[in-house]
Amino acid sequence: MKIVVLDGYCLNPGDLDWKGLEALGECIVYDRTSLTDMEEVISRIGDADIVYTNKTPMPREVFEKCPNIRFVGVLANGYNVVDVNTEKDKGIPVDNIPTYGTASVG
């Protein structure tokens, strides 16, 4: 299984590690990925099965050009960066972190 994290710096600015994901398969973590250059997004995802994003958009074009995607995790509390209609059409589950920041905001 291949796992790609598109903008890992948002979640881990250096004080954590990715060993949990690395134990599941090949794991590639990019600190930041372009918010506008979809060719960069597509090339980084490539043939990945699992993709994690925080701020990097994943429109329909990404799913059409990266057909191996089987799961998308949004490392935030919303879904606005992911074309959830395309995911639904393709049967790809998407999940987020609904309690992200709750303790610090409360």
Q: How far from chain centre, in Å, is Cα 15?
A: 20
Encode pLDDT of 38-88 as tens digits: 999 999 999 999 999 999 999 999 999 999 999 999 988 888 899 988 988
Question: Which pLDDT score, from 0 to 100, does residue 102 have?
Answer: 62
Q: Which structure tokens are listed for 75?
A: 């490392």
pTM, two decimals, is 0.89
Tens digit of each residue's pLDDT (9 = 90 or more) over 3-41: 999 999 887 877 788 899 999 999 999 999 999 999 999
User: What is the rounded distance in angstroms from the CA atom of residue 29 to the CA atom of residue 9?
Assistant: 9
CB neighbours of 72 closer than 8 A, spacing ≥ 6?
Answer: 50, 51, 52, 53, 58, 82, 87, 92, 93, 94, 95
